[in-house]
């Protein structure tokens, strides 16, 4: 499964698996313009913090290729202007996933450091490097996290934190895949994850294709399973993690963490260092995206809410660090979750962030 891929050379384009069509149709969307890339991120054709960052990085390459098609004799200055404009535009696509801004900042550094006609090649090299780095981080998170599930048989996850949300293996699902490969006989409960059903449509699709036993639940069902002792662990991804370990993830994650704590079930978050926002002391500063009314009032084209009724549709909520048993990163496990341990495990990342201030 190729969640996203670059097709061709510097004049090529971005190809995405269209996640809005899954699980019924496995189709791909080709993005030849910056506007198409922005729309694909906004409409959740591509989604998940790492995948959004990778798509945005390639989107800057799309911008230069698009400008060169429109103006074959494009000057270096105009190419840089097109790239800068694309970076600013793509940054408006979704506000919560910090990987988007992390990747765009890396691409901005390439633009600012390029003074000759090698810009397009250097941008594509950087986007490809971001893509490959994510593959390596996903694999490392899987290996670090697998021992946490060694004694588990029934694991609950929320939303989709697999290959569809990243480059290949994903974040939380990378841990499940690694545990499965190590011989742990896992059964996964996947929350539907309303209102857009990423758990039912995407996670269940991924896991069943991988040969992992999966059962889909409505979002209101996990508490009764935990009460009956049928959940051994909860494992989720994240779209942004503050310096103290507070973690933003798909709406409904916070409620799961509360229920898990009540029933003594360990609650794990899996996120690469690129998802940490070391400039935010706590989750109170994480911007929460408010999605369109139609996603709740007309799910998948069918009206379920009266016209005169209001709709509240935040895409994410924030789970406080004190409800998180451990955070798995590509650099190791943060446990217990607090500012000191975040800084210790992500020392190099934190020092780099500080040097940029």
Cα gap 157→231, rounded to integer Å: 10
> Are the C-beta atoms of residues 44 and 99 closer than 8 Å to each other?
no
Q: How many CA atoms lie within 13 A of 32 on its CB side?
A: 3
Q: How many CA atoms lie within 13 A of 273 on its CB side?
A: 20
Ordered strands of the 28-31 beta sheet: 4-7, 13-17, 28-31
Cα gap 340→144, rounded to integer Å: 20
Cα gap 66→218, rounded to integer Å: 43
Cα gap 254→216, rounded to integer Å: 19
Which residues are known catalytic residues? 239
Helices 119-145 and 98-112 sit at what angle, rounded to 10 degrees?
A: 150
Compute and round to an integer the Cα radius of gyration of the chain.
20
Give me the DSSP letters along 264-285: T--EEEE--GGGEETT-SSGGG
H-only helix segments in the chain: 34-42, 49-70, 76-90, 98-112, 119-145, 172-181, 198, 204-209, 222-227, 253-262, 294-297, 339-345, 347-355
Dihedral over Cα of 19, 20, 25, 31: its sign: negative
> Are the C-beta atoms of residues 341 and 282 closer than 8 Å to each other?
no
């Amino acid at each position: 499964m190729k969640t996203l891929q670059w097709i061709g050379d510097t004049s090529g384009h971005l190809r995405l698996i269209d996640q809005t069509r899954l699980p019924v149709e496995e189709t791909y969307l080709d993005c030849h313009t910056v506007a198409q890339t922005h729309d694909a991120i906004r409409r959740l054709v591509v989604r998940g913090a790492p995948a959004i960052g990778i798509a945005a990085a390639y989107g800057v390459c799309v911008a230069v290729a698009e400008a060169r098609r429109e103006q074959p004799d494009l000057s270096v200055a105009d190419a840089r202007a097109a790239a800068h404009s694309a970076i600013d535009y793509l940054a408006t696509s979704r506000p919560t996933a910090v990987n988007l801004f992390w990747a765009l900042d890396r691409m901005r550094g390439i633009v600012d450091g390029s003074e000759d006609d090698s810009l397009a090649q250097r941008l594509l090299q950087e986007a490809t490097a971001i893509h490959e780095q994510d593959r390596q981080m996903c694999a490392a998170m899987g290996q670090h996290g697998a021992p946490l599930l060694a004694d588990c048989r029934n694991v609950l996850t929320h939303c989709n934190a697999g290959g569809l949300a990243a480059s290949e293996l994903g974040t939380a699902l990378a841990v499940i895949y690694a545990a499965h490969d190590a011989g742990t006989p896992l059964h996964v409960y996947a929350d539907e994850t309303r209102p857009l059903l990423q758990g039912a449509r995407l996670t269940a699709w991924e896991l069943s294709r991988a040969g992992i036993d999966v059962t889909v639940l409505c979002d209101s069902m996990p508490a009764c399973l935990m009460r009956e002792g049928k959940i051994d662990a909860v494992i989720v991804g994240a779209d942004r993690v503050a310096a103290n370990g507070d973690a933003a993830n798909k709406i409904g994650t916070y409620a799961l963490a509360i229920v898990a704590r009540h029933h003594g079930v360990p609650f794990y978050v899996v996120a690469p260092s690129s998802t940490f926002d070391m400039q935010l002391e706590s989750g109170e500063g994480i911007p929460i995206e408010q999605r369109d009314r139609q996603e709740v009032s007309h799910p998948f084209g069918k009206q379920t809410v009266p016209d005169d009724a209001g709709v509240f549709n935040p895409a994410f909520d924030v789970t406080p660090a004190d409800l998180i048993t451990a955070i798995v990163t590509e650099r190791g496990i943060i446990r217990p979750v607090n500012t000191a341990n975040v800084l210790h495990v992500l020392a190099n990342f934190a020092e780099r962030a500080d040097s940029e201030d």
